[in-house]
Amino acid sequence: MEYLCGMSKFKKYIFNPDTLSYELTERSTRRFLKSMLLFAGSIAAAFFYVWIYTSVLGNDLPKTMIIKKNNAKWSARYEMMDRQLDGYDEALSMLAVRDNDIYRSVFGMYEIPDEVRNAGFGGVNRYAYLDQGDCSSLLKDMALRLDVLTKKAYVQSKSFDEIAAISKYSGEMMLRVPSIAPICPVPGSYHISSAYGRRTDPVYGRTAFHEGIDFAMPTGNSVYSTADGVVEKVRHAFFGYGNSVVVNHGFGYKTRYAHMKEISVHEGDTVKMGTFLGLSGNTGKSTGPHLHYEVIYKDRPVNPYNYFDLSMDTSDYMSLVNKVKSGS
């Protein structure tokens, strides 16, 4: 009678009670080879099945299906975030329009240019850490949009801070913004001989930018300050502006009155809206009697037409002048 007693990794032995010893069975090697061939065949069949399942039938493996499902979930989240960013961008754009066209305009402030609001980020590649992976371009676009929106929000916030600071002094400011004509607008007593903008220079004949408005009128017409302020400059010259006055109104505003015949104020004098400055004339570089009037905001000339109404009732205008004369 034979008993199974032991088996090594590759050989199988049985105990022989007649010889009282372990003997190697020849069948164990054959069985091992059969087992290895069966295992190899199973692996080959598995690979063949996978190839048929994926390449021929076009199906995905379970792990691939899980990855694709997760990718689809994240793609949906990216699309939702992109739509939200579109909404934020539109809201900021609406705020920018209201800021430039209403808030800053009311206080006579310059508009913030689009190139400042929408400035990008150049120079060093700040998104290099997102260069890896199949979704690197999508992530970089998302990061860039977030940075641009953050900057636009910051610019808008600073603009509102500036407006809030100015609005605290809005009462005083309204008296310091040039808001009346420099002459009493009696119909027929003057005409606009040259407007603000590019024109042909009447003396040199070349195209040049005219930084103010010319009121053509007889010499000796009264000239008045168009807002409260302090006389900054009084000049008497044979060329250029001729006899001229510059009034500093504060809040970034100045006005210039040029080619005058006589000047009745001095540097450092405090003036009110409607204060008499002198008489119009024909001094300096001038081809005829007129008053050259400029509005300067933050050291840049702006169109005076935006600051006065020539249809203002003359009695109302002179009433303002008379109040200044009486000191009331």
DSSP letter assigned to residue 281: B
**pLDDT tens-digit readout, 37-54:** 887 877 877 777 767 766
pLDDT at 322 > cutoff 50: yes
Smallest Cα–Cα separation from 212: which of 293, 96, 266, 287? 293
Smallest Cα–Cα separation from 295: which of 184, 191, 171, 182? 182
pLDDT at 16 > cutoff 60: yes
**pLDDT tens-digit readout, 263-298:** 999 999 999 999 999 999 999 988 899 999 999 988
pTM for this prediction: 0.54
Range in 13-17, 236-240, 264-268, 318-322 with the lowest mean pLDDT: 13-17
DSSP characters over 194-259: E-SEEEE-TTT-SEEEE-SEEEE--TT-EEE-SSSEEEEEEE--SSTT-SEEEEEEETTEEEEEES
User: Counting runs of H as helices and runs of E as strands, what totals does the chain give?
Assistant: 7, 16
Which residue has 């302090």 as its token pair? 230
User: CB within 8 A of 251, min separation 6: which ones?
Assistant: 108, 166, 169, 173, 176, 177
Q: What is the pLDDT of residue 23?
A: 66
193 pLDDT tier (thresholds 50, 70, 90) = very high
Range in 9-18, 31-40, 63-72, 108-117 with the lowest mean pLDDT: 9-18
**pLDDT tens-digit readout, 65-87:** 777 778 778 778 888 888 888 88
Coil, helix or strand at residue 24: strand
Q: What is the pLDDT of residue 176?
A: 87
Q: What is the pLDDT of residue 318?
A: 95
Record the tokens describing residue 211, joined without a space.
Answer: 């930084």
Q: What is the pLDDT of residue 312?
A: 93
- More confident of the two residues 284 and 100: 284
For the chain, the straight-line distance linking the first and the last C-alpha, in angstroms and rounded, comes to: 139
**pLDDT tens-digit readout, 120-144:** 655 556 666 666 655 567 777 788 7
Q: What is the pLDDT of residue 216?
A: 96
Range in 55-59, 98-102, 174-178 with the lowest mean pLDDT: 55-59
Q: What is the pLDDT of residue 251?
A: 83
Share of the chain above pLDDT 90, in %: 35
Q: How far apart are CA 60 and CA 5, in angstroms?
A: 48
Mean pLDDT of 206-222: 93
Rounded to 5°, angle at Cα 240 from 239 and 244: 100
Q: How far apart are CA 183 and CA 186, in angstroms?
A: 8
Using an 8 Å Cβ cutoff, are 180 and 313 in contact? no
Q: What is the pLDDT of residue 25?
A: 61
Q: What is the pLDDT of residue 6?
A: 44
**pLDDT tens-digit readout, 145-168:** 888 888 888 888 888 888 887 777
Share of the chain above pLDDT 70, in %: 80
Other C-beta atoms within 10 Å of 250: how many?
A: 16
Q: How far apart are CA 158 and CA 134, in angstroms?
A: 38
